[in-house]
Each structure stands twice: as C-alpha cells, then as structure tokens.
Amino acid sequence: MEHIKNDKKTITGWAFYDWANSAFNLVISTAVFPPFFAALAPDTFTIFGADLERDSVYSFSISIAYLMIAILLPFLSGIADYSGRRKSFLKLFTLIGAVGCIALFFFDSGERSMFALVAYIIGTIGFGSSLVFYNSYLPDIASEDQHDKVSAKGYAYGYIGSVILLVAILGMIQFHTQLGFDSEQLPIRIGFLLVGLWWIGFAMIPFYRLPSDVHKKMDSKVIFQGFKEVKIVGKKIWKQKMKVRFLASYFFYIAGVNIVILLASLFAKVELNFGSSELIVLILLLQFLAAIGAFLFAYVSGKFGNKISLLIQLIMWVFICIGSFFVTGKTMFFVISIFVGLVFGGIQSLSRSTYSKMIDDPDIPLTTYFSFYQVLTFLSIVMGTLIFGVVSQVTGNLRHPVLATSVFFILGLIILIFTKIESKESLPEEVL
C-alpha cells in the first residue's frame, strides 16, 4: 500500500529523527567530547612503535571515521534506493551510533583513551551513515513542492533538540557541586550517555511513523548500484569545466570549514584553557549565529549573486584563521567566534544551493548528484583533518595547523574567482 504524501504526522515523525541524532553532532563531535578528551588523554600515544601527539591522534581519528563513511556512502545509497530496507538500515545505524555514544560513558581515565576514540569513530559512522537512509525518505513523504519546507523543518527540529540537550548538560556541569558531584567529569560522562539514550529514544517516533519497508531481493547489483551512479555523475561533471572548478573550490574551502568546526573547542581548551562551561556557551553562541548567517548571506546572494556572497565569506574565513593564530585571550577568541558563527551557517547553506542551481540533468536523479556531493564533502574532511594532524604532530601545537587551514580557504577563493557559476536560472552577468 502506497504511503500518502504530505501527511503531517509522518512529516513530523521524520523531522524527529533530526531532533534525535543532531545531539551527537553538537554535543559529542563539537562541544563536549573534544575538550574532555584533551583533558583526560595522555600527551602522547605510542601507535605501531611511533610516538604521536594527542591532538594529532584525535584529528586522525576524525579522518578514519569520515574515510569509512565516504567508502560506505555509495553502497548505502544503492541499498537505500533499491533494496526497500531503508527503515531496517536506519535502525541499524541508529543503534551503532547510540552504542558508540553510550560507550563514551566509560571513558573515565587516560588509560581508556584509545577505547574512547574507537567509540567516537563508531558513533560518527552511525551518525553519517544513518543520514543516507533518513534523507532518502524525503521524496516519499513529501511532494516536490514541499521538499524545501519539509527539509527546513528537519533542520529546525535538529537545532532545537540538540540545543535543549546541550543546555541540560551545561546545567549539570555548571551546578555539579549542588547536584552532589565531586567534579565535572561524571556530569560530562553522563552527558555522553544521555546523547545515546536521547538518540535512540526519540528515534522511536520516526521508526513508528515512517513508511514500512517493502523488502526486495538483495543482490550485488543493488549493493553496487549506488557506487555505479556516483561514478556516472563524476564522469559527467568532469566534462563540464565550470562545475569542476566550483567543486574543486568547494573541496578545499569546506575542508577548512569542517576543520574549524570539528576542532575549534579543542583549540580553545588546549591553547586558551577554556573550561567546559565556557566552551558550551561558546558553541551555543556559534549555533545561534549560524542561523543568522545563513539568512544574512542568502540576502547578500539575492542582491549580488551566489559567487559574490561566497567570495565575501571566504575572505572572512582567511582572516578568521590568521586572527586565531595570533589570539591570546578568551575575549578576543569570543570576538573571532562571532565571525565564525556568521560564515559557518552561510557558507554551508549557500554552497548546497549553488550546487543545486548548477545541476540540469534530467537523466540522473538529483539525489544521486547529492550523493556525489556528500562523498566529496567527507573526503575533504579526511584530507583536511589528516593535514591538520600532521602539522600538529610536526609543530607540537594547534596554532600552526589553524594558520595552515587558511591555505584551504585561499585555494578555494582563487579557484572560485575564475569560476563562472552557471545555473538553470541565470545570474546577472556582472556577478559571474
């Protein structure tokens, strides 16, 4: 039986998955786990006989997680599109991700640092992989004219849910003495536990409301179909010079964006001695400003075109990286963070919309083009975090890697200058 599109209960149930899993991205990937790991883990790790700096090892763990997701993504896309087992796989990766979060509760000493990194990698794989199946429901539950509205509802639920949980964890940390805890450590670890329970608990709503699986025969053709489609898209894009230039620019600058977001709290903890409560307040500020920035640069884009809006943001990113290298106090870092928040929200939303405007290919579904886009994004994170980790290992601090990150933005800026952004709706010639 075909599911009815634009059903309010189904759409709300779908949006609740964003509410459920966004807590992982905000609490564990960004706000709480990186500085907690820096505080608890030893300064150096001996891996395969080599001594590696703690911050380098953490950066490399991000590289490993996203490399595994990038490899899995095309196969998962094929399974999501052709096997009829989306809900089963959504449940599986939700469970994997939640177990990774819950396992972090047992990270209570430096001796368990490698265990913590493995749990973090597992949680990240669950998070990234589950999104493939979550996103694939959109065409089934909403008509095309409702896609933007329904997608925005998911983002809004994710933002609200993750912020609520982060504020609750902040309260436990801030008032740990009044709550009967000896230190901040146990409230933070309880926070990791809560993320896992929050994720799997609220996921029960979409599990109940989303359309049931219609099992089809699983064979090698289904498994490799997604990889085949992403490969076809890659070959088509390679023949179109301006798309190649835009995606090359995107590959470099989005690597820089993700380095800053994934490692900002680690930098603040190690280089500026931020406390847990200060870091969470900082991340909440970034979240709030990211929403403002998305609307601000959408307005700039409407006035002057996508290219000009992106160029302005890339220039700001270059100065953010240079300014972070020289920052010595918390006040100055908060000021820099205001600009990070504004361009963080703007550049991600505008990059996605710019790419969508450049696609005009009726032979291949839009979802396949965005699978290619997502693989490219994950590979850029792998490259960026690997280089960040190597520079951190060589220099022994986090300031030089942050300065090196400016190179990604400069490369993206230069390539974008020589890129004519084509779209189905032509932009004014003077801004191309």
User: Would you mind telling me the total number of residues written for the chain in this entry?
Assistant: 432
Burial of residue 426 (CB within 10 Å: 0-12, 13-18, 19+) is exposed
Sign of CA dihedral 191, 293, 129, 259: negative
Q: What's the pLDDT at 424?
A: 46
| Architecture of the domain made up of 228-432 | Up-down Bundle (1.20)
pLDDT digits (tens, 9 = 90+) for 285-314: 887 888 788 778 888 888 888 899 999 999
CA separation for the pair 258, 246 (Å, rounded): 18
Q: What's the pLDDT at 28?
A: 93
Q: What's the pLDDT at 3?
A: 66
Q: Do domains 1-210 and 228-432 have the same CATH topology?
A: yes
Tokens representing 330? 């918390």
Domain covering 1-210 in this structure, CATH number: 1.20.1250.20
262 neighbors 30 (Cβ within 8 angstroms): yes
Q: How many CB atoms lie within 10 A of CB 193?
A: 15
DSSP 8-state code for residue 142: S
Tokens representing 81? 């599109």
CA separation for the pair 150, 202 (Å, rounded): 18
CA separation for the pair 267, 284 (Å, rounded): 17
49: left (phi over 0), alpha (psi -120 to 50) or beta: left
272 neighbors 398 (Cβ within 8 angstroms): no
In the chain, where the domains are located:
1-210, 228-432
Prediction pTM value: 0.85
213: left (phi over 0), alpha (psi -120 to 50) or beta: beta
Q: What's the pLDDT at 361?
A: 74
Q: How far is CA 110 from the centre of its chain?
A: 27
Residue with tokens 């469970």: 95
Q: Which residues of the chain carry a pLDDT beneath 50?
A: 1, 423-432
CA angle at 97 for the pair 46 and 344, rounded to the nearest 5°: 85
Q: What's the pLDDT at 148?
A: 64
Q: What's the pLDDT at 101?
A: 97
Of the candidates 135, 29, 123, 137, the one whose C-alpha atom is nearest the C-alpha of residue 73 is 135
